[in-house]
Amino acid sequence: MTAAPVLIIGARSDIGMALAHRYAAAGHPVQLAARASKGLEADAANIALRHGTSASVHEIDILEPESFAAFLDSLPQLPHVAICVVGLLGDQATSQTDIAAAQLTMRSNYEGPALLTGLIAERFAARGSGTIIGISSVAGERGRASNYVYGSAKAGYTAFLSGLRNRLSKTGVHVMTVLPGFVRTRMTAGMDLPARLTAEPAAVAEAIFRAATKQRDVIYVKPVWRLVMAIIRAIPEGIFKGTKL
Amino acid sequence: MMLSGWGRFPQQWCALHQPRDEAEVRAAMATGPRIARGNGRGYGDCAMQRNATIEMRRFNRMLAFEEETGQLVTEAGVLLAEVIDTFLPRGWFPPVTPGTKFVTIGGMVAADVHGKNHHRDGTFGRFVDWIDLMGEDGEVRRCSPQENAELFAWTIGGMGLTGVILRVAFRLRRVESAWIRQTTLPARNLDHVMALFEENGAATYSVAWIDCLNTGSGLGRSALMLGEHACADELSRTRRNAPFSVPAKRSRTMPVDLPRAALNRMTVKAFNALYYRNARAAAGDALVDWDSYFYPLDAILEWNRIYGARGFMQFQCVLPLDSAHAGLTELLRAIIASGEGSFLSVLKRMGAEHGPFSFPMEGYTLALDFPFSSGTARLMERLDAITLDHGGRFYLAKDARMSAATLRRADPRADVLAKVRRDAGLANFRSSQSERLCL
């Protein structure tokens, strides 16, 4: 089989770049999409040189849904795998008082990714094949005081992916939800992260690559997170509301 | 954070920056005195600066490759190992390689590294076409023999003291296989090994392991190892089908610091004797894979831990041809007299000098390493003195303790570099080493 092209939306992120390398290493041409994508030319050259595959660069602004259709039309080829890595952690305290900041977090983590993923899903469904991988978050599993603006947007995206998977299950289009726990990236730079719960971007990419070939539905990158989140979800609300997590 | 070089001495608290782009390099530079750091394989304090150490590992992209010329453009933080992994399967190999593949391209330029082919091909710098260098003003300058030629020349071997190396264009060489045809020649003593070096000047690669503990008429007994890139038709039929694939090797990691007592005169002597016997037994021709031939120590990750937590000191000098024999004899005698055993000692014939501040000169270079102790400090000073008496000089990538006065007596070029730096306003590119050496 000639390797099918892989689209990475949010390619500048550490996880996005690690995914691009992982798929390119397996021989897939990669399409790198990001805002201000000019700066990704060097990364595309690097990927093409190291892995002997092709890498192209495409402009996308996740906050401009009206541009999504033209963006998909502009790709050299409709990809076989589309991965949405877009995300914005934002600052919870700011988001509580600043509506614009909260809105930006919500639109970056829910509105944009869901609308774009949905549009790609339509094209994949029309073709009758494809894999959609959405990077959501364990923060969407239960709203917590420390990051519920981000978490609620991720919860929305998780639910969107779940519904999409349900709807497309008989069409040959596979939808996979990824719930990474802590990952050592620019997003978490400077945070004091527990080592046992924290993954490197390359490990996240490897886990996603493998899970996608096995057509898994929902993955936690580090299996321990499945247990952690099961416990967090099981705590009765009466107790949960008094905790500091 | 606490930093050290590969020799683990000295250790020093340094503010570490890990920039991802030029703007972040500029921001780190703005804090004042600073030095760029690669993968920390310099042995001493050459890539450490308390105020700001700028680790360039995140500049790790390969940018362009020209099939016609073999020119590869990479960012400074790309490891040589990554270059080999990427290009050896396509029939290309680094033109010059030091004894470890875990160095960055930027570090290779800054130290102007040499390899086993120095007598024929010179240093890495001879294969560099251009360098993008960030200066004191934060501007990036393309430096080459045509553009900013003086800055280009001083940056090669300039130990990072002329600016921050961002990108490098250098030429790879074509090879037909991933195998080296190795010829091992045992040598009874120093006279013998030097004669063998002179006889085998046409060999592409040559290096001798030398026993620093044997005395008398066997002083300097050695095993000279010659190497040539094997042509495809020198390989067995099965290997010829996949000339660039070699059997996978397991790398091991030294899990703990060995206690100081583990390396003593007896164990070092036993190791050296064993090595010589093996070399004698293996005398003749053998096909060796590239990794085992060029990087035997890389197979033991963190091998520097065999020297214990206090670390070790490297000593590497080069002596001019006419005084090399006398100088090497005295160096070996001083080591034996001190009772300190050098675990790994390497002798190599070097070719012509090139570049305004690069280490090599036509002659013989001796590389030694000693576990750190009070006795070694005295021995090193003795070795310094012998080197000076014989007109030799020292390799700064290995140095951790030399005095500014010793450097100047060995190498009048140090004052020229210091003046170039003053005149060009480059004084804030400085490492702990350059401060110690008043460069």
Phi and psi angles of residue B372, each rounded to the nearest 5 degrees, phi first: -75, 125
Contact at CB, B82 and A46, closer than 8 angstroms: no
Per-residue confidence at B373, pLDDT binned at 50, 70, 90? Answer: confident
- List where CATH 3.30.465.10 sits in chain B: 62-175
Q: Pick from A42, A49, A186: which is nearest to B65 by CB?
A: A49
Per-residue confidence at B57, pLDDT binned at 50, 70, 90? Answer: very high
A23, A110, A150, A220: which one is catalytic? A150
| CB-based contacts of B313, cutoff 8 Å, min separation 6 | B7, B9, B43, B369, B370, B372, B376, B380, B400, B401
Contacts of A189 in chain B (CB under 8 A): none
Q: Which residue of A has its CA nearest to B84?
A: A50
- Position A244 scores a pLDDT of 83
Q: DSSP class of residue B341?
A: P
Residue B67 token pair: 């099939």
H or E element, residue B98: none
Question: What is the ipTM metric for this complex?
Answer: 0.87
What is the residue-averaged pLDDT of chain B? Answer: 92
Please tell me the CATH code under which domain B179-237+250-402 is placed. 3.30.70.2520
CA B255 to chain centre: 25
Q: What span, in angstroms and rounded, lies between the C-alpha atoms of B369 and B376?
A: 10
Contact at CB, B63 and A43, closer than 8 angstroms: no
Contact at CB, A46 and B62, closer than 8 angstroms: yes
Contact at CB, A45 and B86, closer than 8 angstroms: no
Q: Pick from A46, A52, A186: which is nearest to B63 by CB?
A: A46
**Residue range B171-196: average pLDDT?**
96
Q: Which class is A6-240 in CATH?
A: alpha beta
H or E element, residue B351: none
Q: Pick from A42, A50, A186: which is nearest to B86 by CB?
A: A50
* DSSP of B269-337: HHHHHHHHHHHHHT-EEEEEEHHHHH-GGGGEETGGGGG-TT-EEEEEEEEEHHHHHHHHHHHHHHHHH
* CA proximity to B134, closest of B19, B3, B14: B19
Helix (H, G, I), strand (E, B) or coil at A182: strand
Whether residue A210 lies within 8 A of chain B, CB to CB, comes out as no
Contacts of A44 in chain B (CB under 8 A): none
Single-letter amino acid code for the residue at B241: N
Contacts of A186 in chain B (CB under 8 A): 20
Q: What span, in angstroms and rounded, lies between the C-alpha atoms of B62 and A43?
A: 8
Residue A72 token pair: 């998909």
Whether residue A188 lies within 8 A of chain B, CB to CB, comes out as no
To the nearest whole Å, the CA of B337 is away from the closest chain A CA by 50
Question: Is B278 a residue whose pLDDT tops 90?
Answer: no
* CA proximity to B184, closest of B203, B165, B166, B160: B203
Whether residue A230 lies within 8 A of chain B, CB to CB, comes out as no
Q: What span, in angstroms and rounded, lies between the C-alpha atoms of B404 and B435?
A: 9
Question: Which of the two residues, B438 and B304, has the higher pLDDT score?
Answer: B438
Q: Which residue of A has its CA nearest to B85?
A: A50
Query: What CATH fold (topology level) applies to the domain B62-175?
Result: 3.30.465
The string of pLDDT tens digits covering residues A128-159 is 999 999 999 999 999 999 999 999 999 999 99
Per-residue confidence at B250, pLDDT binned at 50, 70, 90? Answer: low
Whether residue A233 lies within 8 A of chain B, CB to CB, comes out as no
- Position B5 scores a pLDDT of 93
Lowest mean pLDDT segment, chosen from A171-175, B64-68, B279-283, B414-418: B279-283
To the nearest whole Å, the CA of A51 is away from the closest chain B CA by 8
Contacts of A43 in chain B (CB under 8 A): 61
Question: Is A187 a residue whose pLDDT tops 80?
Answer: yes
User: What is the torsion angle, in degrees rounded to the nearest 10, for the CA atoms of residue B410, residue B416, residue B418 and residue B424?
Assistant: -160
To the nearest whole Å, the CA of B289 is away from the closest chain A CA by 22
Contacts of B62 in chain A (CB under 8 A): 45-46, 49-50
Q: Pick from A43, A49, A186: which is nearest to B86 by CB?
A: A49
Lowest mean pLDDT segment, chosen from A58-62, B12-16, B103-107, B288-292: B288-292
To the nearest whole Å, the CA of B212 is away from the closest chain A CA by 43
CB B338 within 8 A of CB B378: yes
Question: Is A105 a residue whose pLDDT tops 70?
Answer: yes
* DSSP of A70-137: HHHHHSSS--SEEEE-------HHHHHH-HHHHHHHHIIIIIHHHHHHHHHHHHHHHHT-EEEEEE--
Whether residue A227 lies within 8 A of chain B, CB to CB, comes out as no
**Residue range B101-106: average pLDDT?**
97
Contact at CB, A46 and B61, closer than 8 angstroms: yes
Per cent of chain A over pLDDT 70 is: 99
Q: What span, in angstroms and rounded, lies between the C-alpha atoms of B133 and B426?
A: 12
Whether residue A69 lies within 8 A of chain B, CB to CB, comes out as no
**Would you list the domain boundaries of chain A?**
6-240
> DSSP E strands: which ranges in B135-237?
140-143, 164-171, 173-174, 179-187, 205-210, 222-229
- Position A1 scores a pLDDT of 44
Per cent of chain B over pLDDT 90 is: 78
To the nearest whole Å, the CA of B51 is away from the closest chain A CA by 20
Residue B413 token pair: 């070029």
Q: Which residue of A has its CA nearest to B60?
A: A46
- List where CATH 3.30.70.2520 sits in chain B: 179-237+250-402
Whether residue A42 lies within 8 A of chain B, CB to CB, comes out as yes
How many beta carbons lie within 10 A of that of residue B343, not counting itself? 17
CB B103 within 8 A of CB B41: yes
Contact at CB, B64 and A50, closer than 8 angstroms: no
**Residue range B16-30: average pLDDT?**
96
Per-residue confidence at B261, pLDDT binned at 50, 70, 90? Answer: low
Contacts of A45 in chain B (CB under 8 A): 61-64
Q: Which residues pair with B331 in a beta bridge?
A: none
Helix, strand, coil share of chain B (percent; to 5): 35, 25, 40
Contact at CB, A45 and B82, closer than 8 angstroms: no
How many beta carbons lie within 10 A of that of residue B250, not counting itself? 5
Active site residue A23: no
Contact at CB, B82 and A49, closer than 8 angstroms: no
Tally A–B CB contacts below 8 A: 20
Provide residues of B within 8 Å CB-CB of chain A.
20, 61-65, 82, 86, 90
To the nearest whole Å, the CA of A47 is away from the closest chain B CA by 8
Q: Pick from B20, B62, B64: which is nearest to A50 by CB?
A: B62
Whether residue A50 lies within 8 A of chain B, CB to CB, comes out as yes
The string of pLDDT tens digits covering residues B210-241 is 988 888 899 999 999 999 999 999 999 889 99
How many beta carbons lie within 10 A of that of residue B68, not counting itself? 5
Between the CA of residue B244 and those of B102, B160, B178, B235, B289, what are the distances in Å? 20, 35, 5, 11, 9
CB B112 within 8 A of CB B123: yes
Single-letter amino acid code for the residue at A57: V
